[in-house]
Chain A
Amino acid sequence: MLFEYSIKGGDFSTAGQASSRFKKVLQQLNVPPQTIKRIVIALYEAEVNIVAHAFEGTINIEVQPGYVVMTLTDKGPGIPDIEKAMEVGYSTASPKVREMGFGAGMGLSNIKNNADILEIQSKINQGTTLKITVNLNQENVIKE
């Protein structure tokens, strides 16, 4: 099964709508709640990152019997130093983003903690692609 959602950068009033819709899909597919939580937290963090840091983006999700692959591609400034961006506490978030309750520099590491595989590619002044894979057949493992 394939799903596609588009995301507008800078629009915090609609941020999270794609993650919310996909959560309902997972519930309909009877995925266990603990696994749903890992998937949608990773997805929501990545969606909010596009809203907070990029101009626009697309989410493509592939649901297979054993796993979910979520690919988020954005047009934006890109990430100059991915290793640094992964560090807890590193953030370039604007005051507006902080006002919305984000910008602690915790999102990418939280995505990594909830995902089984995280791949990040980025080109400066072009954009960023996150590929997040979560296995479906493991119960109650929230990695911390």
Chain B
Amino acid sequence: MKLSKVAEILNASVVCGKENLSREVTHAFASDLMSDVLTIDSRNLLLLTGLTNVQTIRTSEMADIQNIVIVRNKKVTPEMLEIAKENDIVILECNYSLFRACGKLFTAGLEPVY
């Protein structure tokens, strides 16, 4: 699924990486716990999280996660944006709950990691 499609399904706004919306994701993982995120296979992955601090992006950088959806109407900080830009990370902001966002994407065919 293209990120542009993800944005459409979630009614999300693109706050970083507008030029990369044709990127494909096949799997998604949802967590506010970075300890968990650091243990998963990140190929073609979309991360959904409500955790908005610099470590969300650092964790993604280290785990090679390139695509993030911030849920629950949380906003990214300028520091997060800076690191995301540096690492070619796409960030979408959406005002759905984590459960609703996951439900919509699961129904649309994104696969769980496990």
Q: Which residues of A contact B (CB under 8 A)?
A: 12-13, 15-16, 19-20, 23, 33, 37, 40-41, 44-45, 48, 100-107, 110, 113, 142
| Closest residue on chain A to residue B64 by CB atoms | A37
B38 touches A110 (CB 8 A): yes
Number of B interface residues, CB 8 Å?
Answer: 22
Give the number of residue pairs across the A-B interface with Cβ within 8 Å.
69
**Contacts A12-B54, A106-B39 given; 9 further ones with Cβ under 8 A?**
A16-B61, A16-B62, A20-B83, A33-B64, A37-B63, A40-B62, A41-B38, A101-B35, A107-B35
A residues less than 8 Å from B53 (CB atoms)? 12, 100-101
Q: Shortest Cβ distance from A136 into chain B, in angstroms?
A: 17
15 residue pairs of the A-B complex, CB under 8 angstroms, read A12-B54, A13-B79, A15-B54, A16-B58, A37-B62, A37-B63, A40-B62, A48-B55, A100-B34, A101-B33, A102-B34, A103-B35, A106-B36, A107-B38, A110-B39
B54 and A13 contact, CB distance less than 8 A: yes
For B62, the chain A residues whose CB sits under 8 A away are: 16, 19-20, 23, 37, 40-41, 44
How far, in Å, is B33 (CB) from chain A's closest CB?
6
A44→B54 contact, CB < 8 A = no
- What is the CA–CA distance of A45 and B35 in the complex, to the nearest angstrom? 8
Q: A45-B38, A142-B41 are in contact. Are A12 and B55 (CB under 8 A)?
A: yes
Contact A102 B58 (CB under 8 A): no
Q: Most A CB atoms within 10 A — which of B33, B35, B56, B83? A: B35
